[in-house]
Amino acid sequence: MSVITRILDKNVVKQLPKRAAAYYSNKPNIEEDIGEFRVLYLKTSKAQAFTKKKYQKPEVLPPRSNEMPVDQNWGNVWPGPRTFHPATVPLPLRQGYVSKGSPPDKYANAELMKIPNFLHLTPPVIERQCAALKKFCTPWPKALSNDELCEKHFPFEVISSNYCHSSPSIRDPMARIVTIKFKLNDLKFDEKSRDKYLRLVGDRYNSETGYVTIVTDRCPTQKQNYDYAMYLVTALYHESWNVEAWEELKTEADMEKYIWENNESKKSVEKLFGKNSEDIAESKQYANAVINFMNEGESDYTLANYGDSVRILLGLPAKTNVL
């Protein structure tokens, strides 16, 4: 066999039945297509080529602000807090910075959306809301005409917040927090219990304003936190009046400040004059000078004060400034 016949035999004659089968099975059967069932064509042909659906741009409505009447009720258009929307706000706003040209206008302007707005709190809206709330209010008591009277009759200030917003839950975790404020001077203390109370409340006491502030947030509801705060106030007060057995062991060295009556200084002066310190006319100012000297620490000023008071106590001439 020549080379040509061998190649022909291999490529054409042997493949022939396969090709023929493929061809026939994919051939569109026009007659069958007309019948009740459509034919599934596994192999596409030009005759049934897929036509791409043409994209139609959705129709964009013109901005709503174009249709707004000038005398509309703005409170109805923008009833609650909301991110800025350019089509709703009928104002020619511009915000942001570009290197050349004017700042970008309100459409697709992220700068305007980022900042919080108060478009829901325009003065007429506030007025309307106040008017609506007014029927729920009672007149302010005349007896509480000023702040001093308020503080006198209502020494406790309870601060808590309620939140109202549209979300699946009506609970806000922040609403549970209760803050209680009162003046320390409204509670009755002696020196020891006051000291103990201050140690117990720690930094909850502000020495500049004189207020104690207790914040409770450990319970899940506001009511529970309020009760807990009240419990704390009561417990702290009574605890500060308690005297433990070990407190009696406190010696002079443990004192946080110098108390003249408990110290050697008083004994010395009494011995020096041979009478009680109450009977010594100048002992009061001397005691004050010693207390200042001891409590404020040694400085030229406190020492000079001490010296002057000793001179008065002992009846010596005052220091004269010669120069």
Partner 1 sequence: MLKVVSKEVLGARLPKNIRALCVATHSQKFRTSEDKPSYHSSSNSAQYYKIPQDIRNQLFAHGGIPKSYNIQTKSFAETCLMVREPSLDIINCIKSIDYSKPVNRFVLYGKKGSGKSLALAHVVHYGLETGHLILHVPWVGQWMRYCKEYSNSELKPGNVDINLDAANWLVHFKTQNAHVLSNADLVIGQDYVWSKREKTQKGAHILELIEHGISRVKYASSCVLGLCMEIKELSKKGKCKTMVAIDGYNGFFYPKTRVYTEKKEMVPPSKVTVTEGFLEVTKFDWNNAVCVLTVDEIASAKEDQLSHMPKYLLGKEGFEHLDPFIPVAVNEYTDKEFTSCMEYYRERKWVQPAPGQDEELSFLSGSNPYKLMQICAGL
Residues that bind partner 1 (CB under 8 A): 263-265, 268-269, 271-272, 286, 290, 293, 298-300, 303-304, 306-307, 310-311, 313-317, 319-323
- The β-bridge partners of 160 are 178
CB of 314 to partner 1, least distance (A): 6
Q: With respect to partner 1, which residue has the nearer C-beta, 95 or 263? A: 263
CB of 270 to partner 1, least distance (A): 12
| Range 115-142 burial, b when 16+ CB lie within 10 A, else e | eeeebeeeeebeeeeeeeeeeeeeeeee
Q: With respect to partner 1, which residue has the nearer C-beta, 168 or 317? A: 317
Helix (H) or strand (E) holding 212: strand 211-216
Estimate to the nearest angstrom the gap between the alpha carbon of 217 and the chain centroid. 13
d(CA 238, CA 240): 5
Q: For 147-190, list the strands marked E by DSSP.
A: 157-160, 178-183
First to last CA, the chain: 145
Output the DSSP codes for 34-83: TSSSPPP-SS--GGGPPPPPPP-PPPPPPPGGGG--TT--HHHHS-S---
d(CA 316, CA 225): 64
Estimate to the nearest angstrom the gap between the alpha carbon of 214 and the chain centroid. 16
Q: With respect to partner 1, which residue has the nearer C-beta, 9 or 279? A: 279
d(CA 311, CA 313): 5
CB of 249 to partner 1, least distance (A): 20
Q: With respect to partner 1, which residue has the nearer C-beta, 32 or 264? A: 264
Estimate to the nearest angstrom the gap between the alpha carbon of 70 and the chain centroid. 39
Q: With respect to partner 1, which residue has the nearer C-beta, 207 or 320? A: 320
d(CA 172, CA 154): 28
d(CA 294, CA 258): 6
CB of 264 to partner 1, least distance (A): 4
CB of 303 to partner 1, least distance (A): 5
CB of 297 to partner 1, least distance (A): 9
CB of 261 to partner 1, least distance (A): 14
Q: With respect to partner 1, which residue has the nearer C-beta, 7 or 272? A: 272
Place of tokens 């100048």: 282
Both tokens assigned to 194: 């006051």
Q: With respect to partner 1, which residue has the nearer C-beta, 191 or 300? A: 300
CB of 298 to partner 1, least distance (A): 4
Q: With respect to partner 1, which residue has the nearer C-beta, 187 or 310? A: 310
Q: Indicate the SS3 state at residue 272.
A: helix
Q: What is the DSSP letter of 142?
A: T
